Structure 1
Amino acid sequence: MTPARHNPPLAALLIVAASAFIAGTTLLAKALGTDTLGPALHPMQISHGRFLFAFLAILGAVGVLRPRLSRPHWGLHIGRTSFGWAGITLMFASVAFIPIADATALSFLNPVFAMVLAIPLLKEGVGPWRWLAAAVALTGALILLRPTPASFQPAALLALTAAMMIGMELIFIKKLSGRERPIQILLINNAMGLTIASIAVSFVFQMPTPQQWAAVVGIGLLMACAQACFVNGMARADASFVAPISYATLIFAALYDFAVFGVIPDAISQLGSAIILTGGFILVWREARVRTA
């Protein structure tokens, strides 16, 4: 397989597109999880739609491209998909109750959780700068949680737990990287996710309205597009260049939430999000310094 040519401008464009698509999935999940398009659907039914239609889109791409597939590492795929399914389901549950921008900001904690989990699971060392980044980001999360009796948002704990699950998923992704082709990883991930989601949705399924069917299909297609853009963007530039651009998801989430639901982030949301992003930038800056040292 010929490596993708290094092209930072194209990589930036692809990551911005991926960010817009990802924010779009949370917007549709919020519409489905509330009574916007009909009786609210259960988060497990929303995540089932995400895996179903993303799988069909990726299966179509595999049929056209016909890539050479290798023997997969089933244990790593099962671990990655299980945590990924749990993470996306909890994220979809959270956006029905809290602003999309808040849930998105909390989701940016997943690299921090992955960093902490890498210590026992991957035997990685963590220096003072990484710990500083983690402390800053978690401080922002604490602000977003609004830990006072009058303003505490229990649903924010769903987004926080989702970030933990996705952080664990990143550990498995790291173990898979270099072992298998990206399109094979996407195909197996979505096939397994669809299997898990199909079992879960059997307990909560309700017939969607026509508008809800359209939104469910949209979630799957947007997620497939986001994954394709992200994988191709990562292949065309260094991770330290790409990572900060992915924070554009927060901007798109806030814009979508305002345009569709009229939600304007308050001062606490803006402060917490800014602090989480600061922690993320510290982590990205440190990783870039380490690679160039």
Structure 2
Amino acid sequence: MFVPKAQNPALAALLIFSATAFIAATTLLAKALGTGALGPALHPMQISHGRFLFAFVAIVSAVGLLRPRLRRPYWRLHLGRTSFGWAGVTLMFASVAHIPMADATAISFLNPVFAMVLAIPLLGERIGPWRWFAAAVALTGALVLLRPTPASFQPAALLALAAAVVIGMELIFIKKLSGREAPIQILLVNNAMGLTIASIAALAVWQPPTTVQWAALAGIGLLMACAQACFVNGMARADASFVAPISYATLIFAALYDLAVFDVVPDMVTLTGSAIILGGAVILVWREGRVRVAAP
């Protein structure tokens, strides 16, 4: 029988923070593939196929080496998690091909806000006033990044917003699974099902990748496998509503990667919106730390 991980908020925060660096790196490679920087531009569904293909190879290799004890999966939960996850990744890859990585990442990472709200009816978690306040601050920052004026609004931003909604739902399924199955089994089943869904979807848009593009697709898959391992283990060690907002750290890495590779300098709107979002995450972490120290 699988024994759930002991609650450890500090380790959970570290694992989620590490996952953000890997996730931002996959977004960078996806942008390079989707904009034609590495050859003829690939369709987002083909990029997400590469992500699941090589992540599956990495996870299967890890299972072969570790030989964990597997049990019967909760298929309905896995199907829900994988379906929302595939849709979220594909929408995110589509958005970064048209708008700056920092903006797309910031908008898509409204998903912790949606996850926090969904955690109330679906996970039975109690959300205190400080968590609501932190979420409101983060949402304000995301609205700044949406640039909701006729002169500056970009339709591609709606792709990132849609990604936020579906990934927020995926977080709920991840949390439901984290206490029922071992993380390595969750990753194995998720990537196997994801590869099946992505393969079917990619048939309609497939074009032969170049050698460089295959390498980038492999990089996306391997980096995402590392991110998933960190994320699933982090979610298993703390409340979803506590660890999810830490994912906003992806904003920092996305901006740095975009600047280093594509020479995209964040403008004042990006900096302001990102700062507000990160401020909301800091408020949440600070308050949770105070509560845990004061608790008997």
Q: Do both proteins adopt the same fold according to a TM-score greater than 0.5, normalized to the shorter chain?
A: yes
Secondary structure of the equivalent of 2:116?
helix
| 1:213-263 alpha-carbon deviations (Å, 9 max, x no partner) | 111111001111222344456678998997676544222211110111000
C-alpha change, 1:107 and 1:280, in structure 2 (3 Å) is farther
C-alpha change, 1:111 and 1:187, in structure 2 (3 Å) is same
What are the equivalent positions in structure 2 for 1:1-293 lying under 5 Å apart? 16-231=17-232, 246-289=247-290, 291=292, 293=295
C-alpha change, 1:13 and 1:165, in structure 2 (3 Å) is closer
Letter in 2 for 1:152: F
C-alpha displacement at 1:125, in angstroms?
4.1
C-alpha displacement at 1:39, in angstroms?
1.5
Distance 2:82 2:242 in 1: 27
Secondary structure of the equivalent of 2:165?
helix
C-alpha change, 1:239 and 1:119, in structure 2 (3 Å) is closer
Letter in 2 for 1:283: L
C-alpha displacement at 1:144, in angstroms?
0.5
C-alpha change, 1:115 and 1:244, in structure 2 (3 Å) is closer
C-alpha displacement at 1:132, in angstroms?
2.0
Distance 1:253 1:230 in 2: 17
Secondary structure of the equivalent of 1:139?
helix
Greater mean alpha carbon deviation, residues 249-258 or residues 180-189: 249-258
Distance 1:41 1:206 in 2: 8
Partners of 1:38 and 1:209 within 8 A in 2: yes
Distance 1:171 1:237 in 2: 13
C-alpha change, 1:230 and 1:283, in structure 2 (3 Å) is same
Distance 2:24 2:146 in 1: 20
Secondary structure of the equivalent of 1:79?
helix
Distance 1:27 1:10 in 2: 26
Distance 1:241 1:72 in 2: 26
Secondary structure of the equivalent of 1:153?
coil
Letter in 1 for 2:184: I
- Which runs of no fewer than 5 residues in structure 2 stay unpaired? none
Letter in 2 for 1:59: V
Partners of 2:70 and 2:185 within 8 A in 1: yes
Distance 1:255 1:214 in 2: 22
C-alpha displacement at 1:203, in angstroms?
0.9
Letter in 2 for 1:141: A
C-alpha displacement at 1:124, in angstroms?
4.0
Distance 1:216 1:67 in 2: 27
* Percent pairwise identity: 81
- Which runs of no fewer than 5 residues in structure 1 stay unpaired? none
Partners of 2:81 and 2:170 within 8 A in 1: yes
C-alpha displacement at 1:116, in angstroms?
1.5
Partners of 1:240 and 1:287 within 8 A in 2: no
Partners of 1:109 and 1:276 within 8 A in 2: no
C-alpha displacement at 1:288, in angstroms?
4.3
Partners of 2:179 and 2:236 within 8 A in 1: no
C-alpha change, 1:78 and 1:39, in structure 2 (3 Å) is same
Distance 2:63 2:281 in 1: 34
Distance 1:149 1:243 in 2: 32
Distance 1:173 1:233 in 2: 11
Q: TM-score, normalised by structure 2?
A: 0.88
Distance 2:233 2:176 in 1: 19
Q: TM-score, normalised by structure 1?
A: 0.89
Distance 2:8 2:128 in 1: 31
C-alpha change, 1:159 and 1:146, in structure 2 (3 Å) is same
| 1:111-155 alpha-carbon deviations (Å, 9 max, x no partner) | 110111223333444343333222222211111110111100211
Distance 2:3 2:126 in 1: 33
Letter in 2 for 1:188: V
